[in-house]
Structure 1
Amino acid sequence: MALILCVETSSTNCSVALASDDTSNATVNSFQIAHCIDFIEDNSSSYSHGERLHVFIDDLLKRNQLTVQDLDAIAVSEGPGSYTGLRIGVASVKGMCYALDIPMIAINTLESLSLQNTLPSDYTIAMLDARRMEVYASVYQGKELLETTKAVILDEDSFSRFRESGTITFIGTGVEKFEDLIKEPAHQYVTSNPTAITMCDTAVLKHKISDTVDVAYFEPFYLKEFKAG
């Protein structure tokens, strides 16, 4: 049995989950996730990942009667997202993987976010707030990636070819400002933070095919350079 720790710190949500390839289909926090054993998370606006992340990991392992030595790999949300949050999550996972000599798995944050969509629609557009009228966004049809992750400055024409050709579930932290901008009731709008829960199935799949990253050289997917202020 492969046991994988999943770590999500790309937003205000400090989230950790345990994934196993030896579990059956289950509903976890309303999501249909086959491989999630347990999770702990807290969505605090204070971005307290530095104080909470390792406490959450320790608590999660203890309540499942496990130690870090039981882990076969660790998955981390690679971004895009909060510069500081990503840096904390990736640095923590790199340190643990190096010390334990186990593989590190990177999962695109928007791919994981899109898996939260449980509503019927033709497309899923995952979007994370990138301040002002900008978002980081990807477009999916089911689990198929149609438009890769990019920074989008929102206006009335954003994603127009998808809006004209079918129904869309917009999901993420950038949803509210786009809903207010386009005011189209035909689509669905779900404001949500990324969570480690929806990393679990992808983490198990990547581990099975040895889709891992180099612990020493991996860097978060910031998408844009950090600017103070």
Structure 2
Amino acid sequence: MVVFLTIHARYKDVQWGIFRDGVLIEAAADESKKVSKNFLIMLENLLQKHKLIFSDLSFIVAHRGPAPLTTLRVSLATVNGLAFATGIPLIGVNGLEALLDEHSHPEKITVVLLNAFCNEVYYGIDNPHAAYSLHNSSEEDSSTIKNSFCESRRYGCAPASSFIESLAQQYTEPLSLVGNGVELYSDLIHTHLAGNANPLSNDIASLEAIAKKGLEKWNSKEITGEVTPLYLKGATP
């Protein structure tokens, strides 16, 4: 039995969740502005409610972002300190990757748009056609298939207007759009993508999606010594 904790710093709050073998047992949340004061209190209350102590945890999963930087830094600093004090292994998860895992389709292009503030977006693109064209062979081994999946995705940060316009120039097929940037930049999407846009969700990655990705990393022994915020500013689309 694997019991682990998942900590998800979001845009307006921070979530904590206890998982057993990948199944959510219970979750709690608190406003971002209260995190520095209540983080450990909320966490200890959640563990005590289920008669758990820190040594019962196999590992801790921490969302690396995107999220407001102050909230993310407070959350990760506390998690890193906790892991150092207790010796519990840490696993960091890219929220863009987790959100794509939730919504991507093997035959459709999926684009994540998250608010990066200052009229910018964090983006993630899953293009399964790109992976297929790179490795179009019936004799692929498992490592090649894994690499082709990685090649199908890219992440970054860019001005919202130019990035959404670039999507219209690069893709003629329908695009599945997810993330809180879909509603925020709906006018730009309507202007540049029109009928090619298929909005699926206006939310960020769920707590369960962050936990699932963390468990996958644990099973493949991708342990993080220290979790740092995901930094994508300066990436080019």
TM class, shorter-length: 0.7 to 0.9
Change (3 A) 1:224 1:187: same
1:171 aligns with 2:178: yes
Inter-partner Cα distance in structure 1 for 2:36 and 2:86: 21
Return the structure number with greater helix share. Answer: 2
1:203 aligns with 2:209: no
Of residues 60, 78, 95, the one that matches 2:81 is: 95
Superposed CA deviations along residues 48-73 of structure 1, whole A, max 9, x for unmatched, are 32234323322322232212221111
Q: CA deviation at 1:161?
A: 5.7
Could you tell which deviates more after superposition, 98-107 or 195-204? Answer: 195-204
The corresponding residue for 2:133 is: none
Could you tell which deviates more after superposition, 194-203 or 64-73? Answer: 194-203
The corresponding residue for 1:224 is: 233
Give the paired residue count: 208
Inter-partner Cα distance in structure 1 for 2:170 and 2:199: 13
Inter-partner Cα distance in structure 2 for 1:92 and 1:100: 12
Q: CA deviation at 1:107?
A: 0.4
The corresponding residue for 1:154 is: 160
Specify every segment of 5 or more residues in structure 2 that has no aligned partner in the other structure, as ranges: 129-145
The corresponding residue for 1:27 is: none
Superposed CA deviations along residues 121-164 of structure 1, whole A, max 9, x for unmatched, are 82332222111321111112589553322012122513226752
Preserved contact between residue 182 and residue 199 of structure 2 (Cα < 8 Å) = no
Inter-partner Cα distance in structure 2 for 1:207 and 1:80: 21
TM-score of the aligned structures, taking structure 1 as reference length: 0.77
Structure (1 or 2) with the larger CA radius of gyration: 2
Change (3 A) 1:164 1:89: same
Q: CA deviation at 1:104?
A: 0.7
Return the structure number with greater strand share. Answer: 1
Task: Give the RMSD, CA atoms, in angstroms.
Answer: 2.8
Inter-partner Cα distance in structure 2 for 1:118 and 1:36: 22
Inter-partner Cα distance in structure 2 for 1:118 and 1:57: 32
**Percent of aligned pairs sharing the same letter:** 24
The corresponding residue for 1:7 is: 7
TM-score of the aligned structures, taking structure 2 as reference length: 0.75
What SS class does the counterpart of residue 65 from structure 1 fall into?
coil
